[in-house]
Structure 1
Amino acid sequence: MVSKLVLVMFVPVFVCSCVSIQKDTSLAKMKVLIDTDANNELDDQHALAYAFLNDAVFDVIGVTVNNTRNGYGIQGQYDEAERIIKLFNKEGQVPLFMGADKSYAEIAPYISENGFDGQPAVDFIIAEALKMQDEKLVLAPVGKLTNIALAILKEPRIIDKVRVVWLGGNYPDPGEYNLDNDTTAVNPVVESGVDFEMVTVRYGAPSGTSAVAVVPDEIEQHMRGKGPVSDNTIIGRHGGEFNRFGDYSANLFAEAEMYGNPPSRALFDMVVLAVLKNESWGEKVEIPAPKLLGNSWVDVPGNPNKIIYWQNFNRDAIVHDLFELMQKTTPKQ
């Protein structure tokens, strides 16, 4: 989850006529576990929805939640994730676990005790990671890194079994909402040697996920009334009844403050799933792993431990893909 006033220049979606490349359906789906602070604003919900819409690409083995500011507590985060799971008829298929409320530094001393803060999510992450044999489990944290750091602390054997792709950080600049919500969790993950990738945010800059923004008119045109119809009717976090994600998306945008010129909101978290689906929609840069001091990055040029950061995202391709998936899954009248 990312929450910050941003100034982004809106670039319209251009729909092009392209050669369709068929995927080899014999290939195994990518196993993904999404760790989210789902109730902070509106990008986490779209990340979950995008993952569920791409059921030919992703095997979402579970969702874990963590608590960041403005999310109405850990229960609020859990409830919002559950709403999206229900809107896609995934209850009973995609397990949901409550994770860390407090920070890594506050929880770590109690990691060997039963009932520590975040244990259900942490134990689920560990159990799923240890099942992996010939592939790595993709952990997609789109909030603070607390649950991931705690899982590594409790069971270091998962380090070689997971790939962490985090929505967070303004690297090389300091700060960012997910990072600031638990700065103590960052170094334990980066320094563990786990495969670590940072999908940069960079508020207001065209090179970060903050540039993957949409205006309300696009949501009205491409989301409202679109997408699969659920067997469930949920009560939204702002009230109202919904039985398809497209209508809930429109409600979330209607209730949210818009930023920039023209007024828009970024779909930060969804970009993680988008570049996992198609790496050409972003640029990967490998660097020696930096160190976080306070909330600022310090480069360590000689560090043999490497990480990857992502930048320069193809806004039009990513947003159009969401809209196309919503249209394809809309029942015919």
Structure 2
Amino acid sequence: MTSLSETVARFPKLDAALMESRLTRPGTGARVIIDTDTANEIDDQYALAWSLLSPERMNLEGVTAVPFSFQHHQEGLIKSVHILENGGPQNEVEEKFMGGLGGWPRRIFDAGLRAEDVKFVTPEEGVELSYQEILTIFNKCGVSADGKVFRGAPDYLTDFDTPIESDSTRFIIEQARKRDDGPVYVLAMGALTNIASALLVAPDIIDNIVVVWTASFPSYAPFCNAPSLNLVQDRLASQLLFECGVPHVYLPGYHVGAQLKISYPEMDQFVKPKGAIGGYLWHLYTNNPLHEMFAITGQETKSWVIWDIINVAWLFEEDYVSTHMTTSPALNDELYWETDPNRHLMLEAYDLNRDAIFEDLYRTLDRAPV
């Protein structure tokens, strides 16, 4: 079985000037692929709608569906709820174990629910749900999806020798090899399986592709990255992204993207009235699938993070997302960052202008067809 270091050795090394050029935010009309787990929750739908209703600001080549699943939490959730049923944690080990799931086990327990009854889709089910949800967003925005939407991998990488070929992987490679048209920017809003598979099949494409990914903690944070769904679902794909030398714009979710919260009153006033897509986004907000899964109640008083619009915001306006040039960290097997100033360059976000981003989104929704 080929190791990560052996795999990375197959990739060409970009010179510093080309890397810096690729990491510069492009102007209007950049070629874009959106790689998205759209049915996972509700944020990808906002990002996709904003993009579809902004044809003058990007050249959207296509949208690729990403697998998703919370199955990696199933065993821990069941065990944690059983601990609560037996009187709560009896020692530091049990307390630490439960802490990894935040307040989820307690909400399940307090609601009188059984952890065994929580539905977890498989990655294969997840990618199909995402594919169908992408089609729904195209329809609600009044945009034709013909030739624009592609099914992705039905599972995650199990090693670096076996990329998962799919319509999405082939499409990413095809677009990245159109060198006369300039680089393609892949706005990655989920697990990296499709992108990693494309890179493993065709390492030569790294000179004409830029991965713009949102996930986890900043590279300087000392925390374990396991809480990040985008990162933890496909650990091998996540490790490959930071190692292979592909130009990468990293948009941390925690503390950066997490600022992109929207409230019930804002949804009611600024989103709900905006045509078919506005009504659908309102429906998603008030029928969030993660509310049921995580046993969250009282939605009217809760805000929700619309994480993935950060990718589109970075592309659209320079002052929406603040970034700095740094070096790519390594992601170790325990999912902690290991930094080294001698590694290849990476552009990383450290802040954003939450109000300006949402105001732009609201203005764009004014274009939505009824």
TM range, normalised to the smaller chain?
A: 0.7 to 0.9
* Alpha-carbon distance between aligned partners in 2 of 1:96 and 1:330, rounded to the nearest angstrom: 21
In the alignment, does 2:126 pair up with 1:103? Answer: no
* Alpha-carbon distance between aligned partners in 2 of 1:250 and 1:134, rounded to the nearest angstrom: 37
The residue type paired with residue 222 of structure 1 is F
The residue type paired with residue 223 of structure 1 is V
* Alpha-carbon distance between aligned partners in 1 of 2:301 and 2:134, rounded to the nearest angstrom: 29
2:240 pairs with 185, 188, 191, which one?
Answer: 188
* Alpha-carbon distance between aligned partners in 2 of 1:262 and 1:89, rounded to the nearest angstrom: 32
1:213 pairs with 250, 253, 261, which one?
Answer: 261
2:279 aligned residue? 247
Deviations 1:70-99 (A, max 9, x none): 564221111111111222233345511111
In the alignment, does 2:230 pair up with 1:178? Answer: yes
Shift of the alpha carbon at 1:303? 2.4
1:290 pairs with 329, 341, 361, which one?
Answer: 329
The residue type paired with residue 254 of structure 1 is T
* Alpha-carbon distance between aligned partners in 1 of 2:50 and 2:28, rounded to the nearest angstrom: 18
Equivalent positions of 1:1-333 (< 5 A) are 29-69=29-69, 72-93=125-146, 95-106=148-159, 108-111=160-163, 117-133=164-180, 135-171=182-218, 172=221, 173-175=223-225, 176-202=228-254, 205=255, 208-227=256-275, 244-256=276-288, 257=291, 263-294=302-333, 296-329=335-368
Decide whether the 8 Å contact of 2:277 with 2:368 is kept in 1: no
* Alpha-carbon distance between aligned partners in 1 of 2:147 and 2:59, rounded to the nearest angstrom: 9
Shift of the alpha carbon at 1:174? 2.7
CA pair 52-158 structure 1, distance change in 2 beyond 3 A: same
* Alpha-carbon distance between aligned partners in 2 of 1:48 and 1:55, rounded to the nearest angstrom: 12
Shift of the alpha carbon at 1:136? 1.1
2:74 aligned residue? none
Output the TM-score relative to the length of structure 2.
0.71
Shift of the alpha carbon at 1:329? 4.1
Deviations 1:56-80 (A, max 9, x none): 1011100101111156422111111
CA pair 105-89 structure 1, distance change in 2 beyond 3 A: same
2:96 aligned residue? none
Question: Larger C-alpha radius of gyration, 1 or 2?
Answer: 2
* Alpha-carbon distance between aligned partners in 1 of 2:355 and 2:332, rounded to the nearest angstrom: 35
Output the TM-score relative to the length of structure 1.
0.78
The residue type paired with residue 321 of structure 2 is G
Shift of the alpha carbon at 1:217? 1.4
Structure with bigger strand share is: 1
CA pair 211-220 structure 1, distance change in 2 beyond 3 A: same
Deviations 1:169-218 (A, max 9, x none): 2122332110011111012122221110111111xx3xx11111101111
Name stretches of at least 5 consecutive residues in structure 2 with no aligned partner: 1-26, 71-120
* Alpha-carbon distance between aligned partners in 1 of 2:35 and 2:66, rounded to the nearest angstrom: 7
Q: Is the partner of 2:230 in helix, strand or coil?
A: helix
Deviations 1:142-167 (A, max 9, x none): 00111111111101111000111001
Computed over aligned residues only, the root mean square deviation of the Cα atoms, in angstroms, reads: 2.2
Decide whether the 8 Å contact of 1:220 with 1:250 is kept in 2: yes
* Alpha-carbon distance between aligned partners in 2 of 1:134 and 1:247, rounded to the nearest angstrom: 37
* Alpha-carbon distance between aligned partners in 2 of 1:253 and 1:28, rounded to the nearest angstrom: 30
* Alpha-carbon distance between aligned partners in 1 of 2:287 and 2:198, rounded to the nearest angstrom: 35
Aligned residues: 279
CA pair 194-250 structure 1, distance change in 2 beyond 3 A: same
Structure with bigger helix share is: 2
* Alpha-carbon distance between aligned partners in 2 of 1:303 and 1:170, rounded to the nearest angstrom: 21
Shift of the alpha carbon at 1:135? 2.2
* Alpha-carbon distance between aligned partners in 2 of 1:51 and 1:183, rounded to the nearest angstrom: 28
* Alpha-carbon distance between aligned partners in 2 of 1:92 and 1:201, rounded to the nearest angstrom: 29
* Alpha-carbon distance between aligned partners in 2 of 1:110 and 1:304, rounded to the nearest angstrom: 26
Deviations 1:245-267 (A, max 9, x none): 10000000111237999510111
Q: Is the partner of 1:32 in helix, strand or coil?
A: strand
Name stretches of at least 5 consecutive residues in structure 1 with no aligned partner: 1-26, 112-116, 228-243
Deviations 1:91-113 (A, max 9, x none): 3455111111222235x4334xx
